[in-house]
Amino acid sequence: MKKRLNLTPYWLILPSVIYLALFFAWPMVQALTLSIWDGDARLQLRAEATLRSPVSDWLPRGAPIEVVERRGNTVDPDDLGQSNLRTEVWFYIRGESADGRTVEGWAPEARVRVRETDAAGAPTLGTIRPRIGGSDPLTTVYAEPSVVSDVVGRIESNAVVAIERQTILELWYLVRGERDGAAIEGWAPSRYVQVFGDNVRGRIDRGDAGELTLRYLRSMINDRFFWPALWTTLLLMAIIIPVQFVLAIIMALIIQQQLRGNTFFLYVFAIALGVSELAVGIVWYAIFTQNGYLNSILVSLGWLAAPIPYLTADTRHWIIVAIWLAEIWRATALVMVIVVAGLQAISHEILEAADLFGANLWKRVRYVILPMLKPSLQVALILRTILALQVFAVVIALSGGDVVTVLANEAYRQYYTLRNVNVAAAYAALILLLSMFSAAVYLRMVRSHEEMQE
Amino acid sequence: MAAIRIENVTKKFGNFVAVDNVTLIVEDQEFMVLLGPSGCGKTTLLRAVAGLGMADSGRICIGDRDVTYLPPRKRGISMVFQSYAIFPHMNVYDNIAFGLKMNKFDKAEIDRRVREAAELLHIETMLDRYPSKLSGGQRQRVAVARAIAMKSQVLLMDEPLSNLDALLRLEMRAELKRLLAEIKATTIYVTHDQIEALSMGDRIAVMREGKILQCDHPTVVYDRPATDFVGGFIGNPPMNFLDAQVQRRDGAVEVAIGDFKLRPHPLMEPLLRGYDGKPIVIGIRAENMEALAAPADDALKVRVLVVEPLGAQNLLTVKIGANIVKVSTHPSFEVAPDQELWLRFPADKIRWVDRESGRVLYPELN
Amino acid sequence: MSVTGNIAAAPVQASEEMLRVRQRALLRHRIQRGFVYLLALALCLWVLAPIWFIASMALTTPATVRTFPKGVLPFIPFSFDTMQFFLTSQGIIPGLINSVVVALITLALSTVIAAPAGYAISRFLFPGRDFYRLSILAVRAFPVVILAIPLAVVFINVGIYDSVYSLALMHTALTLPTTILVIGSVFASIPYELEEAAQVYGCTPLQAFRSVVLPLVAPGIAASAIFTFVMSWNEVFAASILTVRNRTLPAQVLATLNQSSEPYQFAGAFFMMIPALIFIFLIRRYLFNMWGQISK
């Protein structure tokens, strides 16, 4: 029979691949992008006052500039929806000028109060707005919808004018600035430029093109919580994981004994697997808070005269201890389950052989069980290491989120409290890179493990 | 001196009695085979001797030590497991050395013993390899080498050959026999393969439903089974059983198979007298019947159903009354299905089975 | 029962010393067993005591919660007041509804996407299968919830931020790898011969799947779905990032943690634990198959 490539499995895995590409791979790229890419760092300048004109140069965000010339471009009605356009509306009006002639020409919308509109909502009649406190009480009418075009006449305040039609303009500035000592000039849409009171000087408000930047990473590293968060995360890993493994192996060995009530022990040991991280944090808060269970028991037994406040800014070490216990309580179940599954794979004859050839319990654990569990333990180790990078709710519940802080908590703070998406993304990227490093090790181990089993 | 004494040992799993009040004594340096169908309790009994699963009652002694309640590691035994139980994370050398290391032998002694054991099993070139790179037969050799390197006085083997393919099993069988003769350990060997049992054991203990039915030399077990079960379980083809009727004629005992009348061996007559007028079962092995092409007075006429040429012999299937009987004949004896032939039953080869108890009757035992 | 054959060796006498050895061995065995039991019970106490504490805080009056020292005896006085206080607090019932909706969507979505993939990796040997499996394992190991931050930016741009549906999309990404591996192992435990047999006896492949495989895998898939539900129900980081007004229960509790009273917190913690306690009990038989497969 000729072997044909069967496409069925590919169709079957396709949805999951697409899903993970959309909601795993892409956000991962996004996280990295957000943390090193400044999306509006540069304002592109053009030779002509239109987006169709090629980019001639650029100025960095914040650069001081001088507005040399202004121009309004009629906006394509399709582009009107763009919320960030800075537009100006001009009316074509007809009315009597201050010197008694009838003038016809363009005036900005800001100078005309619309009094009547037609059925379609378009303005038909208005009055000239009075100028308050200005030196010039008259309103200028221009030949073109631009303040730099010819003046056709000047109208007094409150004069009634007919509005013939209107036009919507996008303002462009010809700006002059300096980059790296060289003078630069070019047209830019006014919405990116902030102009000061004198109508001439100003600065680039934001850009329309991005550049690579280290400033988010820098502001992450320079944040006063960064190093404490990193060190606490690593410290927690270092003190949680070994204890967890010892406990989990003991639990698994107990399960292995097939005691009466084994299913009960198994369920109890596995309970924490399903308990919410936040709930665990609160549970241990209930134990460690000043009028909590620990103090209650110690005081009732007479070992303490008065309750100790454990979870305060001055008792950081106690908070760490509380987090340590809470995490051991919560995540040992995961390791235990993996170890039990690994133990089940060791045939009972192997253990009997070890017993028979003279190994007591300790030697059986040391020379047979642990070496044979190595693959499971490695997997559990990597999983635990990566999960330890995510510790979050337990820390918030026990420390309020700033006395003791961890990386995930800082990502949350940057995003939620400080509204600093890019720095939050930088934390996310850091956590991702740390776990990617672990995952690479993990994959290597998995592969060598599979090779070992012929 | 390391005789194994198993005294009144009972082992239950819940309500199921796996080993039922068994007493068995294995002499020093003897090769004892525990034989029986699966579920007969042979492995449970072996494990009780090994200490893997304590006996509920009774006593087990090795040499002059009562080991009933000792953990396996303190019993001074070694064992070959059915699945070999080779440690997958250790190479062959470390596997063989495991027991010696656990018992804190010095390095030189360990090395010497490992190499000696490996040489005995022809695996001295594989000492660096890991079990995953070994074939089934090689793993088996490692398991045996690990056991004999201990030089324990007692060696237990739990169906060590059952996971090998047929050819390899044949080869290992002979080799194990040679090896065990060489190392002179007291051995209990569990198997469900009667050929293995017959060919290897000094004695065979046939077990069924937790009890030992018979324990004796292979030839005795084969030739003079204690019960119909033993006769039927041992031998290929198994012993034939024929329904018959004991009658008395002219003061002598006569046994009727249908119309055919048989005279029992004179030694059996007193015994069979008690069965006068009662049914009895005749047991006879296929090779013990004489097939004749022509009628004879003392031969029973039968019709051949199937002829199976097996090379060294021809196996005929015939029907006598309601019983199917296998007869083995020399290949030169020409016969075809549906042909008639005559069977003669040598009186000294016939075994008489009590229908009720299944017990085989022997004059000297009564 | 008597022994047939020759009994030559003289019977061993049961000496005083042997009896002592026997008794000592029995005693040691019993002490060892007892020690293991003690250890097991101590570990149970370690797991259960905190649950005991929080349950007794949640099922009493708010006034009792504030007393000091607290009694170790639970439920004195027994009352649903604390629970009621928590459940009637602002945002809790909507949060509860949101949590259930998110978890149910996540459960449905990840089961629907994972089931075919799990079937594929357990039934077909195709080029790229190992790579796919390893990738899924790697994704499983990743701290997926961290991706809530870039996803929030995407969701804001697309205009689906702050909705239970977009949060369910995120949670599905979180649970999908586990679900694929678990369902794969469930399928792998059903021999393919069964399907082939059904086909030999006249079923189409689809019929064979429906009438033979589906009934056999249904419990396992249900277990995996329950686990998915629990994972989504418990998840707090992504929920806090991706929702503002439509908070899930954990996100709501977390957001108000600093301003809330202890009775509220304790009752909330207990309330969040309840489904986990029940569901883990329901699927306890499957836990080890699940994780055994995953750890390979």
Residue of chain C nearest A257, judged by CA positions: C36
Of residues C15 and A425, more confidence is placed in A425
* pLDDT tens readout for residues B247-294: 888 778 888 888 888 888 888 888 888 888 889 999 999 999 989 888
- Cβ contact (<8 Å) for A350 and B132? no
CB-CB: which of B79, B82, B89 is closest to A356? B79
Note the pLDDT of residue C10. Answer: 42
CB-CB: which of C4, C12, C14 is closest to B215? C4
HSE-up of A123 (CA within 13 Å, CB side)?
21
* pLDDT tens readout for residues C146-171: 889 999 988 988 888 989 999 999 99
* DSSP label of A113: E
- Cβ contact (<8 Å) for A274 and C121? no
Note the pLDDT of residue A314. Answer: 84
Residue of chain B nearest A373, judged by CA positions: B89
Residue of chain C nearest B4, judged by CA positions: C9
CB-CB: which of B7, B27, B69 is closest to C8? B27
CA distance B97 to B113: 8
CB atoms within 10 A of CB B110: 20
The strand pairing partners of A43, in sequence order, are: A59
Chain B hits for A453, CB-CB cut-off 8 Å, are 132
CA distance B143 to B79: 8
Chain C hits for B5, CB-CB cut-off 8 Å, are 9, 11-12
Q: What's the N-to-C CA distance of chain C in angstroms?
A: 51
Chain B hits for C3, CB-CB cut-off 8 Å, are 23-25, 212, 215
Chain A hits for B78, CB-CB cut-off 8 Å, are 356-357
> Helix and strand tally (H, E) in chain B?
9, 21
Q: By the CB < 8 Å criterion, does B153 face chain C?
A: no
The strand pairing partners of B323, in sequence order, are: B320
- Cβ contact (<8 Å) for B21 and C1? yes
Span B355-364, mean pLDDT?
Answer: 86
DSSP string, A135-199: S--SEEEESSSSTTS-EEEEE-TT-EEEEEEEEEEEEEEEEEEEETTEEEEEEEEGGGEEE-TTS
**Mutant choice from B1, B9, B68, B69 vs C, greatest count of C C-beta within 10 A:** B69
- Cβ contact (<8 Å) for A356 and B146? no
Note the pLDDT of residue C272. Answer: 92
Evaluate whether B191 touches B35 at the Cβ level (below 8 Å): yes
CB-CB: which of A360, A371, A452 is closest to B73? A360
CA distance C296 to C293: 6
- Cβ contact (<8 Å) for C141 and A254? no
Note the pLDDT of residue A77. Answer: 64
SS3 assignment, position A242: helix
Residue of chain C nearest B205, judged by CA positions: C4
Q: Give the DSSP H or E segment for A94.
A: strand A87-96
Among the residue ranges A142-151, B33-42, B176-185, C31-40, the one predicted with the least confidence is A142-151
Of residues C12 and B283, more confidence is placed in B283
Note the pLDDT of residue B267. Answer: 87
CB atoms within 10 A of CB B244: 26
Q: Which residues contact A161 (CB under 8 A, 6 or more apart)?
A: A93, A94, A95, A107, A112, A125, A126, A127, A128, A155
Q: What is the pLDDT along chain A (454 residues), one digit of tens a residue?
A: 344 568 888 999 999 999 999 999 999 898 889 899 888 888 889 888 877 888 888 898 888 999 888 877 777 666 666 656 777 788 899 988 888 888 899 988 888 888 888 888 788 888 888 877 666 778 888 888 877 788 888 888 888 899 988 888 888 888 998 888 888 889 988 888 888 878 788 898 888 888 888 889 999 999 999 999 999 999 998 999 999 999 999 999 998 888 888 888 988 998 888 899 999 999 999 999 888 888 888 888 888 888 888 888 888 899 999 999 999 999 899 899 889 888 888 888 898 899 888 888 889 899 999 988 888 888 888 888 888 888 889 999 998 877 889 999 999 999 988 888 899 999 999 998 888 887 677 667 666 555 454 3
Q: Order of strands across the sheet with B211-216?
A: B77-80, B154-158, B186-191, B31-35, B203-208, B211-216
* Chain C neighbors (3+ CB pairs < 8 Å): A, B
Among the residue ranges A192-196, A298-302, B40-44, C205-209, the one predicted with the least confidence is C205-209
Tokens 């919660």 found at: C65
* pLDDT tens readout for residues B307-352: 999 888 899 999 888 889 999 999 888 888 888 899 999 988 899 9
B269-297 as b/e: b if 16+ CB within 10 A? eebbeebeeeebbbbbbbbbbbbbeeeee
* pLDDT tens readout for residues B148-194: 998 888 999 999 988 888 888 888 899 999 998 888 899 999 999 99
Span C97-125, mean pLDDT?
Answer: 93
Q: By the CB < 8 Å criterion, does A250 face chain C?
A: yes
Mean confidence (pLDDT) of chain C: 84
* DSSP label of B15: T
- Cβ contact (<8 Å) for C14 and B214? no
Note the pLDDT of residue B202. Answer: 93
Chain B hits for A353, CB-CB cut-off 8 Å, are 79, 81, 85, 87
Check whether C295 has a pLDDT greater than 80. Answer: no
Note the pLDDT of residue B366. Answer: 53
CA distance B225 to B239: 10
- Cβ contact (<8 Å) for B77 and A371? no
Note the pLDDT of residue C180. Answer: 92
- Cβ contact (<8 Å) for C72 and A293? yes
CA distance A357 to C274: 48
- Cβ contact (<8 Å) for B71 and A355? yes
CA distance A20 to A26: 8
- Cβ contact (<8 Å) for C14 and B66? yes
Note the pLDDT of residue A169. Answer: 82
Task: For residue B112, give both structure tokens.
Answer: 């010497």
Among the residue ranges C3-7, C88-92, C252-256, the one predicted with the least confidence is C3-7
Residue of chain B nearest A366, judged by CA positions: B102
- Backbone phi and psi for residue A250, each to the nearest 5 degrees, phi listed first: -60, -45
Check whether C74 has a pLDDT greater than 80. Answer: no
HSE-up of B271 (CA within 13 Å, CB side)?
17
Q: What percent of chain C lies above the pLDDT cut of 70? A: 88
Q: Taking the model in full, what pTM does it have?
A: 0.80
DSSP string, B318-349: EEETTEEEEEEE-TTS---TT-EEEEE--GGG
Note the pLDDT of residue B164. Answer: 85
**Mutant choice from A256, A293, A343, A444 vs C, greatest count of C C-beta within 10 A:** A293
Residue of chain A nearest C137, judged by CA positions: A443
Q: Which residues contact C296 (CB under 8 A, 6 or more apart)?
A: A375, A379, A446, A449
Of residues B27 and C141, more confidence is placed in B27
Give chain A's radius of gyration (CA, Å). 36
DSSP string, B251-268: TEEEEEETTEEEPPPGGG
Closest CA to C57 of C26, C15, C85: C85
CB-CB: which of A355, A363, A453 is closest to B72? A355
HSE-up of B135 (CA within 13 Å, CB side)?
6
Q: Order of strands across the sheet with B4-13?
A: B16-26, B4-13, B57-62, B65-66
Check whether B98 has a pLDDT greater than 80. Answer: yes
